[in-house]
A and B are shown apart, each in its own frame.
Chain A
Amino acid sequence: MKAIRILSRNIRDSFKSVFRNFSLSLASISCITITLIVVAISMVLSLNVNRFTELVEKDVTIVAFLDLETNDVEINDISQKLKGLNNVESVKFKSKQSISEDMMASSETFKNIMSEWSEAESPIQDTFQVKVKDIKLIGKTADEIKAIEKVDVVKYGEGMVEELVSIFDIVRRASFIAVVALIVVTAFLIINTIKITIFSRKREIEIMRLVGASNLNIKIPFIIEGLILGVLGSIIPIIATCYGYTAIYDKLGGKLFSDLIKMIKPAPFIYFISLVLLIIGMIVGMFGSLRAVKKYLKI
Chain B
Amino acid sequence: MDLIALQNVRKQYKTGVVAIHDLSLNIEKGDFVFVIGSTGCGKSTLIKMLYREEKPTKGKIIVGGIDVAKLRNSKVYKLRRKIGVVFQDYKLLNKSTAYENVAFALEVLGLPKDEIHDKVIKALELVGLKNKAKQYPLNLSGGEQQRVAIARAIVNGPKLLICDEPTGNLDENTSLEIMSVLEEINKLGTTIIMVTHDTTIVKKYKKRTILLDSGRILKDYKKGTYGNESNKNTK
Instruction: Tell me the A residues contacting B by CB distance below 8 Å.
Output: 2-3, 5-6, 9, 20, 203-204, 206-215, 217-218, 298-299
Contacts and interface: CB of A to CB of B under 8 A. Distances in A.
B80 A210 contact: yes
Contacts of B108: 6, 208, 211-213, 217-218
Contact of A204 (B76, B80, B93, B152): B93
A97 to B, nearest CB: 82
B80 A299 contact: no
A299 B52 contact: yes
Nearest to A6: B110
Contacts of B52: 299
B109 interface: yes
Nearest to A215: B74
Interface of B: 51-53, 55, 73-74, 76-81, 85, 91, 93, 95, 104-105, 107-112, 152, 156
A210 B85 contact: yes
A207 B109 contact: no
Given A207-B104, A299-B52, A299-B53, A212 B91 contact: no
Contacts of A2: 110
A212 B78 contact: yes
A227 to B, nearest CB: 19
Contact of B91 (A207, A213, A299): A207
Contacts of B85: 210
Contact of A206 (B78, B91, B107): B91
Nearest to A297: B73
Given A209-B76, A212-B109, 4 more contacts: A5-B111, A9-B110, A203-B93, A206-B91
A45 B105 CA distance: 51
